Chains A and B, each alone.
Chain A
Amino acid sequence: MNTFIRWIGIAVVAFIAAPLLIVVPMSFSTAASLQFPPPGWGWQYYQAYFSDPSWLRPTWNSVFIAAMNTLLTMALVVPATFALVRHKFWGKSAANLMMMMPMAVPHIVMAIGYYSYFGELKLVHSKLGVILAHTCLSVPITFLVLSANLKGFDRTLERAARSLGATPRQVFLHITLPILRPGLLISALFAFIQSFDETVVAIFISGRNAETLPRKMFDSIREEADPVIAVISTLLFAIVFAGLIAPSVIKLIRRMTAKTAQQR
């Protein structure tokens, strides 16, 4: 039974990892379009990506939009989470529901809504429009992560700080904020990824001026199946992978330096 479950596990992992195993080799391909297995090996599409403004511009657009989205989302969600987790007020459950709404409504429905509504406001084809739309989509996940963190926060710490002479503002700056920092960073990261990854709304409203990377990739795969898509996928995967293993690597290095320090 145990081995059976293990094989199922391996099969699931293989199924999840398969796209990567195909995409990464294709990025080093010499073929004119996406083709597997690659007929030959080379760096040419990496060069193409880093020298072609029609790829670099959407990349910067995406980074800029995701960064602005993160700032705006955090500015809205942090105070909202404190209010919703720590205080009782009239209409609280309605407010809670509103926060989660964008998660329940399909993106395509939201996208059509933004398309017509932002059209009225002259926000279609603008970065601001995409940022605003993405912020709406980022709110639920950011709120979920942050509220879980805040619920687990021991408020006795704040009382202790007060008794030790800290004003409410000092308590927030010296105690609450630093302790919540990991949760804040993770929720900000989720907001960033949410925006960077978002395709449906971007296709509807980003237009030429605010074209994001996922939109450009989607257009490209429809028109020419440019292997640069594989390059971008590989690079994104590399960044995420580096981010994932970074903590363990740092820990390992620290342990090694600590060991050599002890030996001395």
Chain B
Amino acid sequence: MSSYLQLSGVNKTFGNFTALGHIDLEIEKGEFVTFLGPSGSGKTTTLMVIAGFEDATRGEITVDGQSLSHLAPQERNIGIVFQNYALFPHKTAAENVYFPLQMRKVGKKAGLKKAEEMLELVGLSGFAHRLPKELSGGQQQRVALARALVFEPDLLLLDEPLGALDKNLREQMQIEIKRIQKRLGVTTIFVTHDQTEAMSMSDRIVVFSDGAIEQADAPLEIYHRPATRFVADFIGESNLLPATITDAGTRRATSPVLGDVTFGAEGCPQVSDGQTVDLLIRPEHLKLSRDPKEGRQNAQMQIETIVNYGDNAVVIGHASDQQIRVRVPGADVVILKEGDTCHFSWTEDAVFVLTE
């Protein structure tokens, strides 16, 4: 039993430059998958290869068992929402949405009716006869979404569609896109470099770096059990501290910063005595106190900067030349001063070992 969308060994080179190394990925029908990564990591290239605008140098893509290799972009039945929306400026909202139906030989009357129903679904009834330039960014976004969905595509691809919107509108559109996607049940790939967007919307996140997939997992899995240093660093805030395994059996390691540490058992990769690893502790899993805390593992640091966000704050300090970030509740900040020396503490479950 194979997956709905399947990428096997997809490779893309431009001259000497390898844009995609060797991409293997399976996506289930109806899944909402986010491609996350810094710019140039290969996420958009992968999307363009799926859409047919770039040919894969090697490898194959199948949808529902059918190979896409020999299909031109217009034959693939894939809806795409582009970063700048790419609405046709000379057509009204309804005509834009009608366009894919027109190309599929749907009559004007029936087609425009369906286009207006689709505009209604995305919350734009009453705007059908406006030109794109007469619509706000958020409204243009909705038209682009309606246009990409009206012909019931096998796949919906969204290429950083929320990049141009301001923060409030962005959150609103995240919820909206998710709602429409669920309602229509269309298999969706969403490309972004914004990790909060990826976290809040996806069934699964695929993290890209340097033309390769670092990890493909559910959002919380990615956050709590990153497979590589890159993922740990890229997703959320992290303290990555070099350490050496002293006793793999009792899960003990020693780190110049933390001293002797016991690390968590869950999700821990295979390690051996003497191996050098990185220990990951998320800032929100550290606690600050004047004196060492009973029942927790402790170390000392000097506070350097306090960044206040109101409801919480990030305290940045130094412990033997290593920067330590601690996220504390906003109310606790008042007792802390820059320049103070204090203890930070953690439990073994908060310590996660990274070998790659």
Contacts and interface: CB of A to CB of B under 8 A. Distances in A.
Q: Report, nearest first, the 10 A-B pairs whose CB atoms are least far apart.
A: A165-B103, A160-B86, A164-B100, A162-B73, A163-B80, A156-B86, A165-B74, A166-B103, A178-B90, A162-B74
B53 A164 contact: no
Contacts of B88: 157, 160-161, 175, 179
Interface string B174-193: 00000000000000000000
B32 interface: no
Nearest to A182: B90
Contacts of A160: 80, 82, 86, 88
A209 B112 CA distance: 56
Contact of B53 (A154, A159, A170): A159
B201 to A, nearest CB: 21
Contacts of A167: 72, 74
21 contacts: A156-B82, A157-B89, A159-B51, A159-B73, A159-B80, A160-B86, A161-B99, A162-B52, A163-B73, A163-B78, A163-B79, A163-B148, A164-B79, A164-B99, A164-B147, A164-B148, A167-B72, A178-B90, A179-B88, A179-B89, A179-B90
B62 interface: no
Contacts of A254: none
Nearest to B157: A163
B151 A164 contact: yes
Contacts of B72: 162, 167
Interface of A, secondary structure class, is helix
B109 interface: no
Given A156-B86, A164-B147, A166-B103, 8 more contacts: A154-B86, A162-B74, A163-B148, A165-B104, A166-B74, A174-B102, A175-B88, A178-B90
Contact of B82 (A159, A170, A178, A179): A159
B238 interface: no
A159 B104 CA distance: 17
Contacts of B276: none
Interface residues of A, number: 17
A174 B76 CA distance: 20
B84 interface: yes
Given A162-B74, A163-B51, A157 B104 contact: no
Contacts of A156: 82, 84, 86
A165 B82 contact: no
Interface of B: 51-53, 72-74, 76-80, 82, 84, 86, 88-90, 99-100, 102-104, 147-148, 151
Contact of B100 (A157, A165, A178): A165
Nearest to B97: A164
Contacts of A175: 88
Interface in A140-197: 154, 156-157, 159-167, 170, 174-175, 178-179
Nearest to A162: B73
Contacts of B151: 164-165
Given A163-B79, A163-B80, A166-B74, A157 B86 contact: yes
A166 B53 CA distance: 13
A52 B337 CA distance: 99
Contacts of B74: 162-167
Nearest to B79: A163
B84 A154 contact: yes
Nearest to A163: B80
A164 B86 CA distance: 12
Contacts of B82: 156, 159-160
A156 B148 CA distance: 14
A33 B102 CA distance: 64
A165 B51 CA distance: 12
Nearest to B102: A174
A170 B151 CA distance: 17
A174 B95 CA distance: 11
From B52, B86, B89, B151, residue with most partner A Cβ within 10 Å: B86
From A160, A161, A166, residue with most partner B Cβ within 10 Å: A160
A180 to B, nearest CB: 10
A33 to B, nearest CB: 53
From B72, B73, B80, B84, residue with most partner A Cβ within 10 Å: B73
B103 A164 contact: yes
A47 B46 CA distance: 73
A16 B232 CA distance: 70
Contacts of A154: 84, 86
A111 to B, nearest CB: 42
Nearest to B78: A163
A174 B91 CA distance: 10
From A156, A164, A178, A179, residue with most partner B Cβ within 10 Å: A164
A115 B76 CA distance: 58
A159 B54 CA distance: 11
A167 B73 CA distance: 9
Nearest to B86: A160
